[in-house]
Structures are given as structure tokens and as C-alpha cells.
């Protein structure tokens, strides 16, 4: 990933289905619960959907699809549009690869989602291998149907 430092997929209750790395997040379960609590509190109290949390150094962005929260963590030095664009791209790829699992309410073995790591690596290799003169986000937009 170029713009996101972390990509996380949460189910209701803050259950972490997928987290691409532990560079920033030391305890995925605790972090998932924290994000779920903040999101639920915001939604219930203010009757609105939380889209971003901004700090001095990092930004947390949220997308909700198929009953899941797709979360991207990016540096504040990265433009918001670039971070959201990459979050949308990887959210759509995740949904394309796991539609039958995401649509079920049953408890899943979350290890099945770890194969998404290779999808992230493949996307980056495809971009670098094509020698695009445009930026990475342009490549992502050109390579997918939105």
C-alpha cells in the first residue's frame, strides 16, 4: 500500500477480520473494540456516521459496507483524497475476494482472510511492473471498475 499504513476490516462488535500488519497496532483485538466503541458512541449520540478521526500525526478513515467497517490509517502528510481512494480500492478488492464469507453471519476462522496480504503485494508489484508515469492512485483507479 502506498498511502495507507494499515488496512483493517471489522465486523459488528469490533471483531477484527483482517489487519494487514502490526506496525502501528500492537493489540488488534483491543484496537478493534476501541474503534467499535467510538463509532457506536458517535452514531448513537449524534445520529451520524463517523468518517474520520484526525490526530496530529495520523488519520483514521472509515468506510461501511456489507455490515463491516473498513478502516484505513494514514499519515496526516498524505492527502485525504489519496488515503480515501486507496481505502476504497482495497475495500472493493476485499469484498470481491470474500463476498460469500462477508455475507454470512456465522463465526469464521479469520485466518482465511490472511490471503489478502498477497493481494496487496500483487497490486503493488503490478503497479511497479508497468512503469506507470502517473501516480499510484491513478494506477489503482485505472485498474478497477468503481
Which cell is 143 given?
A: 485498474
Could you give the angle at the alpha carbon of 34 between the alpha carbons of 28 and 36, nearest 5°?
A: 100
Alpha carbons within 13 A on the beta-carbon side of 79: 5
The residue written with cell numbers 502506498 in the block is 2
Could you give the angle at the alpha carbon of 102 between the alpha carbons of 97 and 105, nearest 5°?
A: 160
Which cell is 128 given?
A: 511497479
CB neighbourhood size of 46 (10 A): 9
| Domain parsing of the chain, residue ranges | 4-143
pLDDT at 116: 75
pLDDT in tens, 84-113: 998 998 898 888 888 776 666 545 566 667
| pLDDT (average), residues 68-85 | 93
pLDDT in tens, 39-70: 999 999 999 989 999 999 999 999 999 888 99
| 11 touches 107 (CB < 8 A) | no
pTM: 0.77
Banded model confidence at residue 123, pLDDT cuts 50, 70, 90: low
Backbone angles phi, psi at 111, to 5 degrees: -60, -25
| 71 touches 9 (CB < 8 A) | yes
One CATH from 3.40.50.920, 3.30.300.30, 3.30.450.70, 3.40.720.10 for 4-143: 3.30.450.70
List, in order, residues 6 or more apart from 56 with CB less than 8 Å away.
76
pLDDT at 145: 42
pLDDT in tens, 15-44: 888 888 667 888 888 999 999 999 999 999
Amino acid at each position: 500500500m502506498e498511502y495507507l499504513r494499515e488496512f483493517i476490516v471489522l465486523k459488528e462488535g469490533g471483531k477484527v477480520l483482517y489487519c494487514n500488519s502490526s506496525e502501528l497496532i500492537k493489540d488488534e483485538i483491543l484496537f478493534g473494540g476501541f474503534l467499535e466503541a467510538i463509532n457506536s458512541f458517535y452514531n448513537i449520540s449524534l445520529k451520524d456516521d463517523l468518517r474520520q478521526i484526525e490526530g496530529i500525526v495520523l488519520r483514521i478513515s472509515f468506510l461501511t459496507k456489507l455490515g463491516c467497517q473498513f478502516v484505513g490509517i494514514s499519515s496526516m502528510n498524505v492527502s485525504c483524497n489519496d488515503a480515501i481512494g486507496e481505502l476504497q480500492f482495497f475495500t472493493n478488492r476485499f469484498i470481491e475476494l470474500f463476498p460469500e464469507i462477508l455475507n454470512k453471519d456465522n463465526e469464521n476462522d479469520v485466518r482465511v482472510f490472511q490471503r489478502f496480504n498477497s493481494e496487496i503485494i500483487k497490486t503493488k508489484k503490478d503497479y511497479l511492473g508497468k512503469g506507470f508515469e502517473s501516480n499510484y492512485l491513478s494506477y489503482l483507479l485505472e485498474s478497477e471498475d468503481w
